[in-house]
Amino acid sequence: MADAQKGKNPEKAKRAAAHPERPGELCKAPAGKFLPVVDVRRCEGKADCVEVCPYDVFEVGAIDDAEYRALPALNRLKLWVHGKKTALTPRASACQACGLCVVACPEQAIVLAPAPLE
């Protein structure tokens, strides 16, 4: 449960740590083995991931323009309503696959994926 005490919102992180569907078997993977992947079509920029991640992987910011233009019209509209804000992963290489973000996201927008081999 130590990870749950390191996030920006320890209370929320603690609740996520106790979630029965947290992908705990991946807990404490070496940094860089898994990456959080955000489905921008689901993300509503609510920043729960920012609050619970013990390794400061996320920030909420403007979606990349090219990525935005490539989305279907309905998803573009949804993002536009949210100021084109989405979860970004500028420090994805620090992820240790603790799974807190996966269960904390209210939109089920995050999955952990094995990092591509170098």
User: What DSSP element (H or E) covers 68?
Assistant: helix 65-69
Q: Is 38 helix (H, G, I), strand (E, B) or coil?
A: strand
Name the residue nearer to ligand SF4 (CB basis): 43 or 65.
Answer: 43
112 φ/ψ sector (left φ>0, alpha ψ -120 to 50, else beta): beta
What is the spatial distance between Cα 47 and Cα 96, in angstroms, rounded to a whole number?
19
CB of 73 to ligand SF4, least distance (A): 20
Name the residue nearer to ligand SF4 (CB basis): 56 or 70.
Answer: 56
Taking a C-beta distance cutoff of 8 angstroms, is the pair 36, 92 a contact? yes
Contact string (CB under 6 A) for ligand SF4, positions 27-56, x = contact: ---------x-x----xxxxxxx--xxxx-
| Cα-based distances in Å from 95 to 34, 68, 76, 110 | 7, 25, 28, 13
CB of 77 to ligand SF4, least distance (A): 17
Contact string (CB under 6 A) for ligand SF4, positions 70-109, x = contact: -----------------x-------xxxxxxx---x-x-x
Site for ligand SF4, rule CB under 6 A: 36, 38, 43-49, 52-55, 57, 60, 87, 95-101, 105, 107, 109-110, 112
